[in-house]
Amino acid sequence: MNQQGTVLDTVSDLGPSRRAKFTRRVLPFIIMAVLLIVIPMLGPSRTALSLLNAIGINIVFALSFNILLGQTGLLSFGHAVYFGLGGYTAMHAMNWIEYADGGFWGSYPMFALPLVGFAGGAFAGALIGWPSCRRAGIPFSMISLGIAELVAATGLIFVSFFGGEEGITGDRMNGVEMFGLNLGQVHQVYWFIAFWTFVGTVAMYAFTRTPLGRLTQAVRDNPQRVEFVGYDPQQVRYLAFIASGGFAGLAGGMSAVNYEIFTPEALSLAPSGLVILMAYIGGIRYFAGPILGAILLTYMQTNLSDFSEAWLLYLGLLFIAMVLFAPGGLAGVVIDVTNRLGKPGAVQQFVKGLVAVATGMIAFFGVVILIEIAVRLTNGHGEVFQPFGIGLPSTSLMSWAIGVCLVAIGVFGLKFTTKQVGER
């Protein structure tokens, strides 16, 4: 009896301490909440605020996607279907609120519209999920692709629900006000987005902590064993699929309020592809990964596209580089660096890492030069690429030689330095 007690004690000691639990599970959310509250106090411009709103929507969308890819191991090529269907449901609800004559929609606050989106996305997930979740892996990906194409095509056929190519529009300044927000100005919308981003993030994290959330990871890693223990992997996948669809719908509802318009393009393959890039570049193995990815890619999407026509090419290269060299994504890189910092010989490693990064940057500059002069050679505007005021005319052989040389130096240097870091 006594012995059993000590065994149990040691087992409980193996779990994280209260402090570790607090710093790992609660503190990040407190920091997030503080950040969300502090940002508007810095007096951001209207453009900055609308960028932040777009980021918030994408954070929820990318996190919902990661319930499938990162947690359950299901690669979906059509996740925008749930975003779009949830968003369309919310958009219709927005119009019902506007023309409501009392009744349920008459007293429904516009602020809670994302909940309608959640319901719409979860319902779509429940309908489509069952046949899709029979198998994981490539069959699942293929079904998701087929369904995405089907839904995108129906989006243009059924005009009464999807509104044809123009989509459907609404007005968010209706219905009952909540928290004194009439959602008129962009800073009011910011509070709306911030609230739902926070709620969505906390809810999705809470989902990973539930027994179901734990089981999804087991299904990802070893479905046979899960079946052996007595759970049905298809059912677990299905439930995760519904949850993921619901949260994607939540993001759709946020988007409906933010933009006040939804077009069938929101259902198409392009946003589905973008969310894959966001989640993967951020890091699908960590809960916070997709958040990083959503922030980076939304920023790139709005700002980099002003600088370069070829921004999608940079995005693709970044994605491929991540798949090949850093499968943990940005979050993985950050965690790897912080883990190594505390170890002996950290300074030495850090210096070597810096050298590797520097050589990597040389190669990157070379690639940028090559891409940019190629763009300017073929687009026919006749501009000259001028990094740091140095003119690199596209027609001169010299510019091409510089680009190729930089790439060669960088790649060679990278091979040399990474070898050393690996050997330690």
Partner 1 sequence: METIVFSLLNGIIYGLLLFMLSSGLTLIFSMMGILNFAHASFYMLGAYFAYSIGSVTGFWVALFLAPVLVGVAGAAVERFGLRRLHAEGHVAELLFTFGLAYIIEEIVKIVWGKIAVPYKVPAALDFPLFELFGSQYPAYRIFMLVVSLAMLFALWYLLKRTRIGLIIQAALTHPNMVAHLGHNVQRIFMLVFAAGCALAGLAGVIGGNYLVTEPSMAFTIGPIVFVVVVVGGMGSLEGAFIASLLIGIMQTFAISVDATFSDLFGWLGLSASSELGGISIPSLAPTLPYLLLVLMLMFRPRGLMGAREF
- Which spans of this chain sit near partner 1 (rule: CB under 8 A)? 73, 75, 131, 134-135, 137-139, 141-143, 145-147, 149-150, 153-154, 157-160, 269, 273, 276-277, 280, 309-310, 312-313, 315-317, 319-320, 323-324, 327, 371, 374-375, 378-379
- Compare residues 158 and 299 and give the one whose CB is closer to partner 1: 158
Rounded-to-10 torsion of CA 211, 217, 218, 222: 170
How far, in Å, CA of 128 to CA of 143, rounded?
10
Give the residue among 273, 270, 274, 294 at the shortest CA–CA distance from 282. Answer: 294
Beta-bridged to residue 169, according to DSSP, are 261
Supply 264's token pair.
Answer: 């069938």
Tell me which amino acid residue 17 is.
S
Give the residue among 128, 154, 123, 120 at the shortest CA–CA distance from 74. Answer: 128
- Compare residues 64 and 144 and give the one whose CB is closer to partner 1: 144
Q: Find out whether 329 and 81 touch, Cβ atoms under 8 Å.
A: no
- Compare residues 262 and 280 and give the one whose CB is closer to partner 1: 280
Give the residue among 200, 222, 360, 357 at the shortest CA–CA distance from 290. Answer: 200
200 φ/ψ angles, rounded to the nearest 5 degrees: -60, -45
CB of 321 to partner 1, least distance (A): 9
CB of 399 to partner 1, least distance (A): 15
- Compare residues 253 and 271 and give the one whose CB is closer to partner 1: 271
Local structure of 281: helix, strand or coil:
helix
Supply 397's token pair.
Answer: 């052989």
- Compare residues 260 and 265 and give the one whose CB is closer to partner 1: 265
How far, in Å, CA of 72 to CA of 215, rounded?
9
Q: Find out whether 111 and 179 touch, Cβ atoms under 8 Å.
A: yes
Q: Find out whether 420 and 352 touch, Cβ atoms under 8 Å.
A: yes
- Compare residues 138 and 397 and give the one whose CB is closer to partner 1: 138
- Compare residues 76 and 197 and give the one whose CB is closer to partner 1: 76
Q: Categorise residue 389: left if φ over 0, alpha if ψ from -120 to 50, beta otherwise.
A: left
CB of 404 to partner 1, least distance (A): 16
- Compare residues 98 and 149 and give the one whose CB is closer to partner 1: 149
- Compare residues 16 and 137 and give the one whose CB is closer to partner 1: 137
How far, in Å, CA of 1 to CA of 3, rounded?
5
CB of 91 to partner 1, least distance (A): 18
CB of 309 to partner 1, least distance (A): 8
- Compare residues 73 and 114 and give the one whose CB is closer to partner 1: 73
Supply 73's token pair.
Answer: 């191991």
CB of 374 to partner 1, least distance (A): 5
- Compare residues 203 and 377 and give the one whose CB is closer to partner 1: 377
Supply 99's token pair.
Answer: 């023309």
Supply 289's token pair.
Answer: 């990964």
CB of 42 to partner 1, least distance (A): 35
CB of 48 to partner 1, least distance (A): 28
CB of 409 to partner 1, least distance (A): 19
How far, in Å, CA of 141 to CA of 72, rounded?
13
CB of 114 to partner 1, least distance (A): 29
How far, in Å, CA of 174 to CA of 172, rounded?
6
Dump strand ranges (E) for 170-289: 261-262
How far, in Å, CA of 362 to CA of 415, rounded?
13
CB of 131 to partner 1, least distance (A): 5
